[in-house]
Structures are given as C-alpha cells and as structure tokens.
C-alpha cells in the first residue's frame, strides 16, 4: 500500500548514491528513485510532504522536502549507525484532507512495523495527519511540539483543518486519543492569553522560550514522555532559520534545536517526528535547510543511542529514592537509572471501580523535581498527571 501513496524522488539524478562521498547519508540511505525500498530491518524512514494549501502565509512550504534532503545527505553517518530508507514524497491530494489521510496511512503503517517516520516539509497542519496515525489505536498518546505558537483557533466543527486551527482539531477529535500536550518554546507576545488559559484548564504543559533556553535539560522529560513530536521551524530564531516567512528575531538557536531533537531521539517511547513550515524560496544560502538537516542528524544520533531503560521496580539498574511531604498522604517515590542518569517519579492514583488496590504510574521527570520534593514541594508534573485522571 505504501508504494501507492509515495512518489519517487523527482530529482533522481541528484539523489543517486554515487553522487555522495562514502560514509555520508547520501551514500548509505536506500532511496525511492525507481524501485520502492524494502522495509526489512529498517529503523527509520524519511517521508516528504508536498502540501501547503491551508497555509496561505507560507505557500513555499510545499517545496521544502527535497532541499532538506540535499543538506542531510551531505552529512556523515555517526558511529552507531541505524538502517534508514527514504520512501519519497506524498504529493498534494485532490483536497488537503486527502493529503492528511495519506500521511496518516503512511505513518500508521510505519509505526505498526516499528519504523520511525521522519516527516519533512509541508505546512504545520500536516502534524494533524501525523497525529491521526495514532488515532488508529485504542490507547492515548502524548504529543510534544517545538513551536512559537499554539494554533488553537476555533473556527467551528465544519471548518477545514488548517495551519491556524489544527491543534484545536486534535484536541477536539472524537474519540479523544490525546492524553497530554506540551509546547516547548512558545513566545508570549505571539500567543493569545486565552489560549494559555485553555491549555492550563486542560492540564496541558506550555514552557516559554526563556524557560527552555535557561535549562534545556528540563525539556528532556517532556520529550521522553512523548509519542510524537512536531517542529515548526518558526520556533528557531530568524538568523538561524531565515527560510520561514513567519520567523521571529527571537527563538531557539540552531544548536538548541539540535539538542532537543537528540533528546527526542533518545526517548524509548517517541515513534514519529515531523519538521514543518520550511520555505526554500526565502532561505538564504540554504541556512535553514542545513539547520534542519543537522537537527535530523542529532535525532538519529539520539535514536542510535537509545538505552531502553524504562524503570522496573525490581530492576537493579535503578536506584529508588523516597521522600515524604508533610502535607501529603503518600510518600513520593523516584527512580534514577544507573545507565542514563535519567529520573522518573511514581504517581499514585485511586483504585479503579470494583478494586481496592491503588494504581501507580511512572512519569518522566528531572533531578530538579526530586530536589523540589525534598524541599516539601509537590512537583508540577506529579500534580498535572494526577489531575488528568481525576477530572
């Protein structure tokens, strides 16, 4: 089915393996030039999306995928290599909804086969199609975004999904599959306070740009908890990513984006990533394409170094810490991995109906959350996770 949804790379001569030096991704990645690549043994798959009709402010986003590829294929592979294929491009469908559905089917098929889709190009509403892949399952998911804005505009149930309302469409989707949403790097002067209040009411997380930049490590637990991540390149400052007409003088630096994508790659849970809103027509000397290519490199490097260290209570590779809050009914239990140094905390929930046994969930956290508990303060992550189950 995948081969019917994905077109070969148009500029096949440019993407030929022989065009690239040995040990670069261009020489190693099996590309959809004529024959459709096999997925046997594959860990990650590059997918381009040539669609931006619901983003009138950035129509050039439909043409970005191949330019990102050009920069990515020039990069050298890391030591811990992993098998990657390039499946080609999803071309714009008869309607934008058709494109969303095509992306849904491609991502769903890959995730089922434990292949991580790396989605390139297209406008940010393509994140809706990426999310729909998870709506095929019965379980809920956590969605993470690196984005300067929220895109929560309510234009009515009958309105088409577009670049300004797609997050609202995700939240309103029925049946609901969204457990948590976190925005990393939003810029307060670009968002309506009513949107912030809505996210707070839903116990979702929004971390301002200044907070992210002040301590990038605090963003890691959010990415570790996520199933999918989308990135709007406008979250990166204009100097480092000029290839977006909606970019801002402020934003993440290129190396900070790379650090965040490496955290995402390291997450044992994250199973898809999308890079959106890149316009090659406004990209000075392909600076933005190079920024995105290097962010992808770091994501792959993180993936290649995954440690599979989700905590198990009786696992000797974890250290258990217990703190007691004076006003709390329960001890707060934390686990630290000896392998990676990462932290989790145990959230206790009331018994389900018909049972007397309390339930516990392990939530990714940071060392600072443990320190906060030691000062008799309840970490925000604990409280928000608990509240989601209580409402």
Residue 242: strand, helix, or coil:
coil
**Strands (DSSP E) found in the chain:** 30-31, 44-50, 84-91, 116-120, 141-146, 178-186, 205-208, 228-232, 272-276, 318-324, 331-337, 343-349, 359-365
pLDDT band of residue 18 (cuts 50, 70, 90) is confident
pLDDT in tens, 73-126: 999 998 777 799 999 999 999 999 999 999 999 999 999 999 999 999 899 999
Type and span of the H or E element at 272? strand 272-276
pLDDT band of residue 19 (cuts 50, 70, 90) is confident
pLDDT in tens, 363-378: 999 999 999 999 989 9
For the chain, the domains span 2-304, 318-390
Choose among 17, 11, 91: nearest CA to 47: 91
pLDDT in tens, 206-237: 999 999 999 999 999 999 999 999 999 999 99
pTM of the shown model = 0.94
pLDDT band of residue 356 (cuts 50, 70, 90) is low
Question: What percentage of the chain reaches a pLDDT higher than 70?
Answer: 95
Rg of the chain over all Cα atoms, to the nearest angstrom: 21
Residue 364: strand, helix, or coil:
strand
pLDDT band of residue 309 (cuts 50, 70, 90) is confident
Q: Does domain 2-304 have CATH number 3.30.70.1070?
A: no
> How far apart are alpha carbons 102 and 113 in whole angstroms?
17
User: Distance between alpha carbon 279 and the CA centroid of its chain, in Å?
Assistant: 20
> Does residue 175 have a cis peptide bond before it, meaning omega lies within 30 degrees of 0?
yes
pLDDT in tens, 231-277: 999 999 999 999 999 999 999 999 999 999 999 999 999 999 999 99
Q: How high is the pLDDT of residue 147?
A: 98
Residue 131: strand, helix, or coil:
helix
> How far apart are alpha carbons 268 and 226 in whole angstroms?
9
């Amino acid at each position: 089915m995948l081969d019917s949804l994905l077109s070969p790379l148009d500029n096949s001569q440019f993407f030929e393996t022989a065009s690239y030096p040995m040990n670069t991704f261009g020489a190693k990645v099996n590309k959809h030039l004529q024959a459709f690549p096999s997925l046997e043994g594959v860990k990650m798959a590059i997918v381009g999306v040539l669609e931006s009709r619901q983003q009138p402010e950035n129509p050039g986003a439909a043409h970005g995928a191949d330019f990102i590829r050009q920069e990515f294929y020039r990069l050298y592979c890391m030591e811990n290599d992993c098998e990657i294929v390039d499946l080609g491009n999803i071309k714009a469908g008869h309607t934008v909804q058709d494109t969303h559905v095509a992306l849904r089917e491609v991502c769903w098929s890959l995730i089922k086969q434990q292949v991580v889709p790396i989605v390139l190009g297209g406008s940010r509403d393509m994140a809706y199609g990426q999310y729909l892949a998870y709506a095929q399952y019965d379980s809920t998911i956590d969605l993470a975004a690196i984005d300067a804005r929220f895109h929560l505009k309510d234009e009515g149930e009958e309105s088409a999904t577009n670049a300004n309302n797609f997050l609202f469409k995700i939240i309103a989707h029925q049946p609901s599959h969204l457990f948590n949403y976190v925005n990393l790097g939003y810029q307060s002067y670009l968002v309506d306070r009513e949107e912030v209040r809505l996210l707070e009411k839903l116990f979702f997380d929004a971390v301002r740009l200044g907070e992210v930049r002040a301590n990038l490590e605090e963003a890691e637990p959010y990415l570790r908890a996520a199933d999918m991540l989308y990135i709007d390149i406008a979250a990166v400052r204009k100097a480092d990513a000029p290839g977006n007409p909606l970019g801002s003088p402020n934003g993440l630096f290129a190396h900070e984006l790379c650090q965040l994508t490496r955290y995402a790659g390291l997450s044992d849970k994250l199973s898809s990533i999308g890079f959106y809103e890149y316009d090659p027509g406004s990209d000075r000397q392909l600076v933005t394409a190079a920024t995105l290519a290097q962010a992808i490199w770091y994501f792959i490097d993180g993936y290649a170094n995954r440690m599979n260290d989700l905590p198990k209570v009786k696992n000797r590779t974890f250290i258990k810490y217990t703190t007691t809050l004076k006003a709390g009914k329960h001890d707060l239990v934390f686990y630290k991995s000896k392998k990676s140094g990462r932290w989790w905390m145990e959230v206790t929930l009331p018994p389900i109906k018909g049972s007397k046994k309390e339930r516990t969930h392990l939530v990714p956290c940071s060392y600072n959350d443990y320190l906060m508990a030691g000062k008799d303060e309840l970490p925000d992550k604990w409280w928000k996770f608990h509240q989601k189950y209580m409402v």
